[in-house]
Amino acid sequence: MHRSRLESTFSSTVEEPCLFLEQLPIEIRRQIYALLLTNNVLSEWSSMSHNAYFTSWQHPSQPPLVFDYTPKYALSPALLRTCRQIYEEGCEVLYGCNKFIVDCSVSGLCHSPVVRSFPEVGRIIASHCRKAEHLIHISAVKKAQHWKIFLSSAIHTCLDPIPQNLRGFYEAIRDSPPKSMQELIIPQGASFFYNYSSWGGVRPKYHEIELLLQPLRILRNIPNFEVRSANIGEVRYFNPSANQSSIEPLTIASDFESGLKSLVQGSEPNV
């Protein structure tokens, strides 16, 4: 009787075979993962919560600007908690087949769907937002293989210079270089917050493009790299009623761009 009890106990703990893993080839499984774990919205502004309360970037005469929007990704990440093998296979699709947006246009902060809610950052209350120096501790940032990054050369007089902000993000990914990275620089005057017609005619100051992009020089082994001016329709807070003459075209010196691209795509040691 004692032996039968042991056999009964042992048989009840034997795991049932997983037909999903044993009978479906990896090609079919990857198609299923893609249906459950990918969405083009992750590369768009709409993938980030707008439930933020901004006060520090506006003219004192203007009322606070309040957003209240929570995005829906239509993903099924709970699938990754099924077992280790499904987790590993699913993560390859989640982080390897999606392109993730990250907004680095505000000094010291990075806004992206790959980071979770942060209750308060200075005078900003926002979701999907982190201080740049904290990104190095977020594993999802290191796993993502495709990035679309928005930059602004506008100088925030009350915050740290923008290049240090960008360096925090690049430090987080430098040891796990992504497969592709697209750098989109917001044209001067195109952003709602920095359109100087909204500041009583006070023209904001801007970093030189070479200084703004200087932190990129720590990156290597990124095969697909692009840097260009963002189109007006790509700018999140563009004010369509603003004076169009305040928007200044952005130019990047061809020799600087080619040298930077060669450095980022190459494998030359970073000294």
14-33 pLDDT, tens digit per residue, is 567 889 999 999 999 999 99
Residue pair 106/128 in contact by the 8 Å Cβ criterion: no
Which of 92-96, 151-155, 203-207 is the least confident region? 203-207
In angstroms, rounded to a whole number, what is the distance separating the alpha carbons of residues 132 and 122? 13
Average pLDDT over residues 68-91: 88
- 39-75 confidence digits (pLDDT tens): 999 999 888 865 444 444 444 455 554 555 567 789 9
C-beta of residue 198 within 8 angstroms of C-beta of residue 59: yes
Q: Which of 153, 108, 102 is nearest to 133 (CA)?
A: 108
Residue 219 and residue 200: Cα distance in Å, rounded?
40
For 181, the token pair is: 């990275």
| pLDDT-derived band at 145, boundaries 50, 70, 90 | very high
Domain limits of the chain? 2-265
Tally of CA atoms within 13 A in the half-sphere of 31 that contains its CB: 4
State the average pLDDT over residues 261-271: 89
Per the confidence metrics, is the pTM higher than 0.85? no
Mean pLDDT computed over 120-142: 72
Both structure tokens of 204: 């904001």
Would you say 48 and 113 are in contact if contact means Cβ atoms under 8 Å apart?
A: yes
pLDDT tier at 198 (50, 70, 90 boundaries)?
very low
pLDDT of residue 14: 57
Question: Residue 146 pLDDT > 70, yes or no?
Answer: yes
| pLDDT at position 91 | 97
Segment 185-207 shows an average pLDDT of 64
Strand partners, 186: 152
Q: How far is CA 171 from the centre of its chain?
A: 14
**What angle in degrees, to the nearest 10, is found between the helix axes of 84-97 and 26-37?**
60
In this structure, is the dihedral angle defined by the CA atoms of residues 50, 52, 55 and 57, taken in order, positive or negative? negative
Question: Which of the listed ranges 37-41, 125-129, 230-234 does the model predict with the highest average pLDDT?
Answer: 37-41
The mean pLDDT of 212-239, rounded to a whole number, is 87
Enumerate residues 6+ apart whose C-beta is below 8 A from 78: none
Mean model confidence pLDDT for the chain: 79
Q: What is the pLDDT of residue 250?
A: 82
